[in-house]
Amino acid sequence: MLSLALFTAALVAPALAAPAPAPQGITLSNSATQAPITMCGTAQNIVLTDTPWIVYNMFYNQRQTRGSMCTAYSSVSKPSNGNKLIKWAAVTDIDYVQSTNNVPKGYTFVGLTQNLETRLSAISSIPASYDWTRTNSTAYKGNIAFDFMTSDTKGDSTSGAAQELMLWLEYTGGQLPIGWVEGPTATIPSLFGTSWKLYQGVNLDTGILVSSLLPDKMFTGSFKGDLKEWLNALVKVGVFKSSTFVNVGNAGTEPFYGKAVVNATLGLQINL
């Protein structure tokens, strides 16, 4: 049975985003039979029922976009010595418009559908690997990030009591997190091989507090680690308690403008 959190994950947009539109039909498929597909609609997605993932093209600011944003699913594999991996791509051709250059146009991502709505303390690990290349033929603004939602209430990802957590791996074009003007609220000296600064602020579109970790040294095309270490680090600096529920988890890219292709291979799952 598919988790209710699947639908929650499909509806939650990342920081700076306007509320996402209602999904235009959640498509169920099996990775063994699903052919490669490119999705360019405002809320097109595929739930791969034999994996822990939904692949989603969340084009929530399409009306403010001059151009296109698409998500392309390629394939799922399982190495003999590891967890399943998914290959996908974000394809954007978005014109630079001065009045909207600081507005994220959407979020193209792979989201979790299994073992969500679980207390952090009950999670044993969240193994993740994220490898990507970006090829852009124009100036480009956007990021590569993990985006999770937590709350003291199971399943809550939309009320003001929920929290959004972003782990920025790479960002370019001058993109800044919510809370940048106020400065970092904490420093995490050692996590995934680098130090990080925590920025916090309320997303005025959603009323949700966003806590973004930015690395002092950006990752260049490859990340591997246990994301529970990230969440535990936020517990240590008082963002939430270990009893919080992890209600949404995903990995993706958030484009603002530019003609680019991000090719990615992702491994992400929650182990209880």
Q: What is the mean pLDDT of residues 107-111?
A: 97
Kind of pairing, strands 245-268 and 127-136? antiparallel
18: pLDDT strictly greater than 50? no
Q: Which domain holds residue 24?
A: 4-268
Question: Per DSSP, what are the bridge partners of residue 58?
Answer: 43, 107
- 169 — pLDDT class (breaks 50, 70, 90): very high
Catalogue the E-assigned strands of 157-244: 163-172, 186-191, 194-203, 208-215, 222-226
Residue where the block lists tokens 């990802």: 157
Query: How many structural domains compose the chain?
Result: 1
pLDDT computed for residue 25 by the predictor = 59
205: pLDDT strictly greater than 50? yes
Least confident of 10-14, 59-63, 119-123, 236-240: 10-14
Collect all residues with Cβ–Cβ distance below 8 Å to 157 and sequence separation of at least 6.
Answer: 8, 11, 12, 149, 151, 247, 248
What are the structure tokens assigned to 133, written together? 């290349």
Least confident of 10-19, 59-68, 171-180: 10-19
pLDDT computed for residue 16 by the predictor = 40
4: pLDDT strictly greater than 70? no
3-class DSSP assignment, residue 229 = helix
pLDDT computed for residue 80 by the predictor = 86
Q: What is the mean pLDDT of residues 171-178?
A: 95
CATH of the domain at 36: 2.60.120.180
CA-CA distance, 216 to 263, in Å (whole number)? 24
Asked if 42 contacts 21 with a C-beta cutoff of 8 angstroms, the reply is yes
> Rounded to a whole number, what is the largest CA-CA distance in the chain?
50
